[in-house]
């Protein structure tokens, strides 16, 4: 199995297809297997790179765990290992921290950024309030609810819901505050993202209960070179529930920015 040296760990990755480089960064509930409906499609056009963030899937954290603090440099190490100078990034949810962080730190290496179910840190007071209200509603959900999937999908696709859970269970357990930021933090990435000039596509499921569509709409409005796509009949994991629509929206964006 292929592993890339990334400072204090070995990062698991896979490469499929040929063409311009396209890297996929999974979310908190996923790993490299999450993209099983994207890789066969995009590998017809691009060199698709999937990987497990440290402490996910087959990648372990170091003896002194660094978790998400190392995500950006782990991606840099992986791309350096593969000899990839410029890349487009498709980042879902938690992976948005990797995608945005890498873009802000190494803008010359990013030709396009897709943020799925993630505001990428581009926020204002309204979006903070909308998200807080949604999180309050989520706390009332019955125990065992998969908030990443829409209720209709859960009811209609039990076999794929089972697969989603199985992929998620390959990950080691994480502390509940693994992704927590200081409650006093009031910053936003939108000005720095705008300054990079990197084209951004925000894509969100219309039934997303973790990244409410209004918050994504606000995020896109704050970044001049950004656009937004909505995926109907999909929750947070739009790439999983509606792969055909998701893939077409992303492909259209990549072709428009000449990747």
pLDDT higher than threshold 90 for residue 248: yes
259 pLDDT more than 70:
no
Q: Report pLDDT for 176.
A: 79
pLDDT tens digits, 30-87: 999 999 999 999 999 999 999 999 999 999 998 888 888 999 999 999 999 999 999 9
Distance CA 150, CA 153 (A): 5
% of the chain beyond a pLDDT of 70: 98
Which residues touch 177 (CB under 8 Å, ≥6 apart)?
none
Find the mean pLDDT for residues 140-167.
Answer: 95
> Any residues with CB less than 8 A from the CB of 212 and at least 6 apart, and which?
130, 131, 134
CA distance to 12, 136, 153, per residue, from 99 (Å)? 17, 27, 27
Q: How far is CA 115 from the centre of its chain?
A: 6
- Band of residue 1 on the pLDDT scale cut at 50, 70, 90: confident
Indicate if the pLDDT at residue 179 is higher than 80. no
Q: What phi, psi does 64 have (nearest 5°)?
A: -110, 95
pLDDT band at 194 (very low <50, low <70, confident <90, very high): very high
Which pLDDT belongs to residue 257? 93
Measured between its terminal Cα atoms, the distance across the chain in Å is 29
Alpha-carbon distance of 201 to 253, in angstroms, equals: 7
Looking at residue 183, its pLDDT comes to 63
The whole-number pLDDT of residue 258 equals: 77
Domains of the chain, residue spans: 3-256
- The 10 Å CB-count burial string (b at 16+, else e) for 172-204 is eeeeeeeeeeeeeeeebbbebbbebebbbbbbb
Rounded mean pLDDT of 173-179? Answer: 79
User: pLDDT tens digits for 106-137?
Assistant: 999 999 999 999 999 999 999 999 999 998 99
What is d(CA 158, CA 54) in angstroms, rounded to the nearest whole number?
29
- The fourth-level CATH superfamily of domain 3-256 is Alpha/Beta hydrolase fold, catalytic domain (3.40.50.1820)
- Going by C-alpha positions, the residue among 122, 103, 104, 101 that lies closest to residue 222 is 122
For the entire predicted model, the pTM comes to: 0.95
Is a pLDDT exceeding 70 seen at residue 184? no
Question: What pLDDT score does 158 carry?
Answer: 97
Q: Is the pLDDT of residue 180 over 80?
A: no
Q: Which residue has the higher pLDDT, 63 or 208?
A: 208
pLDDT at 2 over 80: yes
- Region of residue 202 (left: phi > 0; alpha: psi -120 to 50; beta: else): beta
Mean pLDDT (the chain, rounded): 94
Q: How confident is the model at residue 6 (pLDDT cuts 50, 70, 90)?
A: very high
pLDDT at 144: 84
Position 103 confidence tier, pLDDT thresholds 50, 70, 90: very high
């Amino acid at each position: 199995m292929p592993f890339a040296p990334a400072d204090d760990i070995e990062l698991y990755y896979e490469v499929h297809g040929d063409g311009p480089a396209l890297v996929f960064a999974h979310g908190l509930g996923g790993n490299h297997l999450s993209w099983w409906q994207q890789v066969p499609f995009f590998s017809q056009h691009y060199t698709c790179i999937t990987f497990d963030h440290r402490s996910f899937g087959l990648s372990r954290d170091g003896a002194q765990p660094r978790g998400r603090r190392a995500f950006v440099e782990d991606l840099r190490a992986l791309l350096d290992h593969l000899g990839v100078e410029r890349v487009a990034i498709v980042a879902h949810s938690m992976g948005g921290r990797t995608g945005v962080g890498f873009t802000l730190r190494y803008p010359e290496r990013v030709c396009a950024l897709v943020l799925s179910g993630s505001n990428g840190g581009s926020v204002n007071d309204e979006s903070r309030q909308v998200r807080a209200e949604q999180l309050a509603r989520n706390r009332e959900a019955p125990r065992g609810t998969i908030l990443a999937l829409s209720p209709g999908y859960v009811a209609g696709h039990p076999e794929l819901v089972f697969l989603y859970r199985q992929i998620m269970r390959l990950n080691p357990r994480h502390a509940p505050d693994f992704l927590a930021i200081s409650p006093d933090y009031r910053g936003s990435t939108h000005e720095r993202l705008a300054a990079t000039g990197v084209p951004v596509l925000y894509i969100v499921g219309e039934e997303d209960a973790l990244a409410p569509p209004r918050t994504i709409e606000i995020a896109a409005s704050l970044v001049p070179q950004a656009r937004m796509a909505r995926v109907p009949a999909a929750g947070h994991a739009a790439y999983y529930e509606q792969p055909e629509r998701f893939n077409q929206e992303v492909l259209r964006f990549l072709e428009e920015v000449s990747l």
